[in-house]
Structure formats: structure tokens, C-alpha cells
Chain A
Amino acid sequence: MAEVPILVVGGGPAGASAAATLVEAGLRVLLIEQRDRLGGAIHRQTASGAESPVWRPARHRRNWAALTARLGAAAERIDIRTQTVFLGVDGEGRFLFEDRRSERVLARRPRAAIIAVGAIETIRPFPGWELPGVMTVGGAQVLLKETGRPPAGPVLIAGSGPLLPALAAQLARAGNPPVAVLERGRPWRAPGALARLILSGGPTGEAASYAAVLAAHRVPYRCGASALRAEPDGDGLKVACRIGTSEQSLHVRHLLIHDGIVPNRTGIPLPAPEAAVPVLQAGDGREALGADAAILDGRRAALQVLARLGHASTAGAASLERPLQRARDFQAALAEALHSARVAPSPETLICRCEGRSYADLAALAEDASAREIRLMGRFGLGACQGRLCGPMIEALRAQPLPATSSPRWPLRPVSVAALARLTADETE
């Protein structure tokens, strides 16, 4: 078929919703997903493809089943490529991918592109966050969903945000309740925000069910509490914690950390809805509003593309704005309720794990150092993670974005020299 497809990058709720909307309008779609199955972070299945035993609300299961059915109904118009990693857009407008199965780099020139690559976790660095045994809450959740097994031994969860109690409850249900959940924020100090949260119609039922699980397993959930330092200790970690005004030390096997999510924008092409090849962002990759909003946002992006290509009016789009605004209000109230002042980390705290650069190295740079200097002189954002991890930390600590995160670049992920060398000009297979 000669019709050039529309590219959708990311097979989570936003990407699946965008793809379904486009194929239902009769267009062809190329849907790229880096994992071996669609679903994204929220609907991740086990490695064998079975439904993950990890509990999640019925609403999420229903939503995903509906999306899957819509994609299945138009299977002949949608080309789904899993294990295919988006590498970015080159200077001549090629969208580049690495097919990890065939170890080939592919180049495509789609009619339009919707980028729905989700959010990334942020952390607030402290001495020892880079040690073995420390991982992000989201990373631990992926492992739990894919293996069905919780990490062995005592687990401490620290940081901020709703993912902390969610994972704690999932670990408890899977048989290993964490020793404690340390929430940095002090929501009772923001009663207005708390009230807005409760009145928002947000997923308060979900929150209540997590609270019930934590209570049943006697998992302490402490607010105004945080991990200060971690040190190796036997085959585990000694974690110094501040809980209220006192400092205490906990011995655990795993420390899981998380301080919210931000859109994954590292090197991602900037939105260009009016360009010859329109590019839109959708879902948590555009604005971190959560899984329910991502479905609406994917639909919104697809309707915009359809209108731009003369296939439909944006009439349906207006009805999406109100629920998206509600999600925005909910997230704003949540952020306000859990807000905590940012404290500069101690000088020895590692900021860039790839290149081993500390906060002292960051602070040594000139106050008005350009983003280029932060990269070259500071060697921040130059490692294999391409600044995905340290970029948001540096942005927060210096109130300045790194160029790697603020402008399109490729490859977005390390790519095999051999695979890239095999790419011949404008390969279209």
C-alpha cells in the first residue's frame, strides 16, 4: 500500500489511544514500542505476556481492554513494531528507530508523528543514592510487574508522591511489605490543597485502598520524613533517615526512591503542529497528568493530526478539555499538598552517575555557565543515559535546562555502531 503512515511513538495509554483514533478515521499507523508488548508503565505485563499479578484498579484494566479491542478491530491498518527503540529525528527529517530484534536501524519519513514516550522519574539526590541496592520506585514497579515477585529482604521506600504508597501496597500484596514509607511532604500543612484533592473527584478510592492495605500490613507511612544518606552495610544498606525532627538509622536490603515524574523530553522532537510533517506530543510525555488523562490526551493529539491533514474537524476535541483540566487541577493540588522546599545536596553527593560527577562539580561551574559549559566542562549529561537522569536534577538545582533535554538530538539511546553503519540512505525496507 502506498499510503504513508502516521507514526505513533510509544505504546502506552496515550500512544494506543492516538493510534486507535487514527485508524478508526481510516488512516494507516506505524506504532513503535520499545518494550516487547504494548501497555506502557501502567499496563506492563509479565515477561511471558501473562496478565501481571500486581494489583491495579479495575478502571485501569477496563480502559486498557477497551483500547486493545479498538486497535484489534483495525489491525489491517496498523503496523505495530515492538522492541523498536525511537532514536530521534535527524537533521534531514528522518525519524530513526532501532529494531532490537533484527539489530537494524530504520529510517522513516511519516506523514505526521505523535510522540507519546511517557514520563520519567525524578529523584532528589543524596549521598549514596547511586549504590547497588538503591533503585527508583518506578524501576522496582517494572520489575514487580514483569517478574511478579517483590525484591527479597527489607525494603524502605522514600521520596515523595502517590507512587510511594501505591508501590508499598503492591509489595505488601505480593508478600513483602516495606519496613516504612517516608514521604517528604507534609500534606497537613496545606489543608486547602488537601480539600481540593478530596473534592476533585480524583482517584481517592484508589488512595483509600492503598491506605487500607498499608494499615493491614502495619506499614508505617511517615510524612515529613526522608532518606538523608545511604551506605553499604553487609549485603544491604544503612540508611540515615530524618523522621520528623529526629534522625534514625535503618538497615535494609533495598532502598526505593522517587520524587515525582516529569515529561520525558530528553532530545525529543519539539511540538510542531503546523510543520509540513506535523509533530505532536501526547500523554505524560507532554504533561504528566496520569494514565486516565493520557488516554484523553492521545485522542486529542490524534484529532489535531486528523484536522491538520484534512480528515476531520476538531469538534470532538473540545469535550476533552474539561476532563484534562480536572486532571491538571488534581495534579496541581497534589503537588501543593506534598510540596517541600528543595535543599541543596551536600557537596559529595553524586549528580551524574554515568560520569561520576558530584554536586561540588556542578557548583564549581560559573553561575552563568551556558548549558554547553555544563555539559563540556562539567561533563554532565554526557553519559550513556544521555542526561535522562541527571538532566532533571540539574534543571531543578540550577533552574536551567541542559541542551540535551531542551533541543532535539539523536541518537536518544545508545545505538550499535554496526547497526547504524548498515543504514543506507533513506532505507524504506
Chain B
Amino acid sequence: MASSTSIHVAVIGAGIVGASAAHFLAAAGARVTLLDASGPAGGATGASDGAVSVASKRPGPMMDLARHARAFYARCEREGLFRGLFHRRSTFLVARTAVEADLVAQHGADLARAGERVFEVDRATLLERVPGLGASVCAALEIPDDGHALGYEITERLLRGTSVDIRRSAPASEIVTQAGRVAGVAVRDDLLAADAVLVAAGIGSAPLLGLGDILIPRKGQMVVTDRAGSAGPAIDGHLMAASYLAAKRGIVRDNGHIGLVIDPLMTGQFLIGGSREDHRSDHTTDASTIAAILREALDLYPPLAQRRVLRSFAGVRTASRDGLPIVGPHPRHDGLVVATGFEGDGICLGPLMGASAARLLLGQNPDVDLSALAPERFLRAEVHA
């Protein structure tokens, strides 16, 4: 491989993953061109809640990786890169039925096994922490070491002041390879020659990699409310309903299921989501889904009745067929690295995964074990000639 001071890397996708890779590549001395069909944070990164949360992760490699990813946020915050953008805050996993309470308890045990601090919170204590909480809430766990960051702010910070050449409205149409090695990227009618290429284009990765059957768009509708107060989060933690856990653990799979989260933003506003609509890649929102989300949210946290909805919007998550991201070197093309399929976990995992992809592109080993995410699961030599 060429020395890192002369290597030119094309990164496809200026979401949080691509921006992180571009940042760390540039910091290592690589020349980086960052391509995006629209612009930075133009996809799911700019249309998601700000949960840097281990509490929500499926047990197994995702939970372990999320712990590393959250620690990476904390380190970047300490060292200055994410200063002022990453905030510690608790996640409350709340149950409203006995069945949900069992699910929350089981998830808490899984989190504790993974090394996470988990506190049981009785209703009285919870009401002190979150005054006004709904009468139906019967059990809750607090995960005190979670955090909060907005994907688009992190993306902007990662790119600010770097030498990365950002190309907006530059959709990649093809990865160009030569004798088993990546040679560049076709952008419209031009060829951008590159020594290495990262595909981190969310659902846009599917046509580039021939993963149309593997990557599934999953639309999520959300709302943002007006401010509850003048400054700071309106409640002391991120409220995550058991219905969200049920979706993340694969217990419910019906299309249109609402996995409720109430995210108190630093501005004093609430971000409330969201639906899970498979095979929907449009960005429209509909009144019946939004109303259903709000009914759930009011049941969990009735003081929201005092708020007004400022915006509804939809993001499109990119889910892989087995529910795990796809991160690692392409099995057939040297110099081609893949990082996509983060579903709803891209904000949490993105910075670490981008940094790991940067190391792979520079011919180094990543700091975390990515074997469970290897592209070989889906990309074999005979699949795509």
C-alpha cells in the first residue's frame, strides 16, 4: 500500500460514518475526497434522535461495540474534538405492563452481564426524576452511563477545519476496479481516481455493492416539539419504552410498529419517535402515524400535552438482513472498505466505526473486534463479478 502521506481515499457518503472516516484519514495525512449525493448529514444522520445509548442495543456484539463506541465519544469529548457536543445522560427503560416489565428486567440482566451499570428504579424515585410520568409506568431501569449527541453536529465538527475535499451533489454511480483492486469512483460521467475507497452511503450503498437484497430501508417518522423551558433538557434522561426494546431485540417485527423514545434535547425541545416501516425509503410523514406516536408518548409522559409540534420528519435507516451492520474490507477488491447497515444505531456507533474504517483503509488493524460485522457474510467472491 502507498504510504499514508500520499494515499488518496474517496469516501462515499458524508453521514456520520463517512465524516468520521474522512476526519481520521485526513488526520493521518491521507488526501480525502468526501462524496455525497446531497451534502453532509443529508441522510439518516440528520434525521435521527441523539441517543448515544448502550441501553437500547441488542445483546451480543452490538451491545459490546456500543460500549466501545460510547467510550470513544467520551474520549473525543475529553480530548476536545467533540467538546460541548457529547453529554452524559441516563437512559430510562420503562415498562407499562407486566410483560414489558419482564422484558425490561431481562434486558437489564443482559446489560449488566456486558459490564454496564444498571439501577432498578421504583415508581416513586422515578417520579422524582421525571415528574409527571404516566400512571401506567410500573417498572423502570436506569442506565446512568449513556450519552447524547446530535448526528449532524458531530458530522459538522468532524469535517470542520480539516483538509477533506467535500463534494456536495456528487452521487457515486459505480466503484471502478482493476485487476482485483479498487481504482476509483464514477461520479456522474467523471472518474475520480483513488487508491482506496470507503462505501458508507447508507441505503445508497446497496446499488454500489450489489446488496439490494441485503440492505433494507426502514423509515422512521418523528416529531420535534417546542421548548418546555428556556435552557437545557426538560427531563433528566432519555425515556425509552419497552416497545422500543422489543423491536430492537427482534421480538416484534410487524411493519408500522412504534418503538417509542422521548429524547429531551439540549434546547429544551423534545424529539419523539418513531415508526419502523420496512421497505419505505421516502421521507414523507402521515398524520395517522404521527398521531399514533403522540398517543403513545402522552401515555408515557402526559406533560407533553402542554407542548406543540413544530415539525414532523422522517429518516430512512439502513438495516441489514441479519440486523448487524456491515463493516470491513470487501472480500474481493483490495482497497475497498464497507461501513453501512447501522439501522438506528449509526449515531452511537458512527464515530468509532468511521475511525475503524479509516484504519482499515490505511492498512492498519482497527482497535475493536469487527469480526461479527464482516462483509463476507453477504459478499462472497462469486456473488458479484
Contact = CB atoms under 8 A, between A and B. Distances in A.
A424 B291 contact: yes
A162 interface: no
Interface in B130-184: 152-153, 156, 166, 168-169
Given A370-B38, A411-B309, A420 B288 contact: no
Nearest to A92: B286
A356 to B, nearest CB: 11
Contact of A384 (B40, B156, B226, B287): B226
Given A370-B42, A377-B156, A410 B288 contact: no
B156 A372 contact: no
A420 B313 CA distance: 15
A24 interface: no
Contacts of B294: 417, 420-421
B307 interface: yes
Given A373-B40, A376-B41, A423 B309 contact: no
B156, B287, B313: which has the most chain A beta carbons within 10 Å? B287
B310 interface: yes
A234 to B, nearest CB: 26
B39, B42, B166, B304: which has the most chain A beta carbons within 10 Å? B39
Contacts of B313: 409
Given A92-B286, A376-B46, A384-B310, A422 B291 contact: yes
A414 B310 CA distance: 5
A424 B291 CA distance: 7
Interface in A241-294: none
Interface in B295-321: 295, 297-298, 304-314
A91 B282 contact: yes
Contacts of A318: none
Contacts of A92: 284, 286-288
A421 B286 contact: no
Given A370-B42, A370-B168, A376-B41, A416 B308 contact: yes
B287 A415 contact: no
A421 B287 contact: no
B4 interface: no
A91 B286 contact: yes
B38 A421 contact: no
Contacts of A382: 310-311
Nearest to B296: A421
Contact of B46 (A372, A418, A424): A372
Contacts of A409: 311-313
Contacts of B282: 91
Interface string A87-106: 00011101010000000010
Interface in A375-429: 376-377, 382-384, 386, 409-411, 414-418, 420-426
A107 interface: yes
12 contacts: A90-B287, A90-B290, A91-B285, A370-B40, A372-B42, A376-B41, A415-B309, A417-B305, A417-B308, A418-B305, A421-B294, A423-B288
Interface of A: 90-92, 94, 96, 105, 107, 366, 368-370, 372-373, 376-377, 382-384, 386, 409-411, 414-418, 420-426
Interface of B: 38-42, 46, 152-153, 156, 166, 168-169, 225-226, 282, 284-288, 290-291, 294-295, 297-298, 304-314
Given A370-B42, A411-B310, A423-B291, 10 more contacts: A372-B41, A409-B311, A409-B312, A409-B313, A416-B308, A421-B294, A421-B297, A421-B298, A425-B288, A425-B291
